[in-house]
Structure 1
Amino acid sequence: MTGGFKGRHMLFAMIGFFGVVIAVNMVMAVLAARSFGGTIVDNSYVASQAFNRWLDEAGRQKSLGWRAGISRVGAYAEIRLDIAGRPLDGARVTAVAEHPLGRLPDRPLRFRGTGAGAYRSVEPLPGGRWRLRVEVRRGAQVARFIEDVGA
């Protein structure tokens, strides 16, 4: 090598390095923007004002001792509810199935009891992954559960 490493070589190396970094960042930003399905909360300040209320509700739910096993049986969502290992019957169960990336519309689900603390959705749930936001009511007692089901 007769000429050695000169200033222009360094310039080309820096331009190449930063060009690759900028190109990768642009590709990642475009992919992230295309795959983001929506907002978590519309207004973070308003959500922060409700935080203590959410903590109180979570404490009341924990004191109920209700547990939910949420799964998919064929084309239907199934929920098994129990209190300290005993089946919980006579509850009103509803849910909203949300697509994790927000690409498909939310689907409200109604459930009917099938005995021994089991509840099965009346409406079928399309294939794929879904996030179920379940609400269980029995009298004045309310519990909410979130579970991912599907492939």
Structure 2
Amino acid sequence: MSEKTPAVKKFTGYHATAIIVAFFAVVVVVNLVMAQFALSTFSGTVVDNSYVASQKYNDWLEQARNQEEHGWTVSPALRKAGKASIAITTGDGAPLQGATMEAIAEHPIGQSDPFEISFTQGASGEYQSVQPLPEGRWKLKIIITQDDKNMRVVRDIW
């Protein structure tokens, strides 16, 4: 009786080539998928011209100091009945009365064009947008004006 030994397959150059090609194919596919995610979620632009932004930096700091002197507190933006709602209080905690408020709504990753929103003050003292705000996440660049005082704030809303 003769026993048959199982045939051992040799590792050849074709096997090595297939392994190397498969490895690099996986690396390339993962890189392409990650690049697609990166390009579709963030434009990469923080400021359009960093040199010009650096020249204006001290002016922006001065504006921020002036805004703090007003003593106003701006709440986070909330979505109520499809509209943006923001409360602004004075230094003593009372609602800010008689201010005008305008905003630019921007999609944080640029999926839609920015648009303007105006606000009116309700009986409770909160400011509510006149225009409805589409669903999703938005960045509101807000300008609040009362007499000769103004304040610029940015609020995210979901």
Q: What's the TM-score bracket when you normalise by the shorter of the two chains?
A: 0.7 to 0.9
Structure 2: gaps (5+ residues): 1-7
Q: Which residue of 2 aligns with 1:80?
A: 87
Shift, 1:39, TM fit: 2.7
TM-score by length of 2: 0.78
One-letter identity of the residue aligned with 1:77: A
Q: Distance in 1 between matches of 2:89 and 2:82?
A: 23
Shift, 1:76, TM fit: 1.1
Structure showing greater radius of gyration is 2
Q: Which residue of 1 aligns with 2:127?
A: 119
Describe how 1:84-99 pairs up with structure 2 within 5 A: 84=91, 85-99=93-107
Describe how 1:26-41 pairs up with structure 2 within 5 A: 26-37=32-43, 39-41=45-47
Percent sequence identity over aligned pairs: 40
RMSD: 2.5
- Residue deviations 1:117-145 (CA, integer Å, cap 9, x gap): 32111111112211111110112211112
Describe how 1:39-78 pairs up with structure 2 within 5 A: 39-69=45-75, 70-78=77-85
Q: Distance in 2 between matches of 1:57 and 1:5?
A: 72
TM-score by length of 1: 0.81
Structure with more strand by fraction: 1
- Give the number of equivalent residue pairs: 150
Shift, 1:13, TM fit: 6.3
Q: Which residue of 2 aligns with 1:133?
A: 141
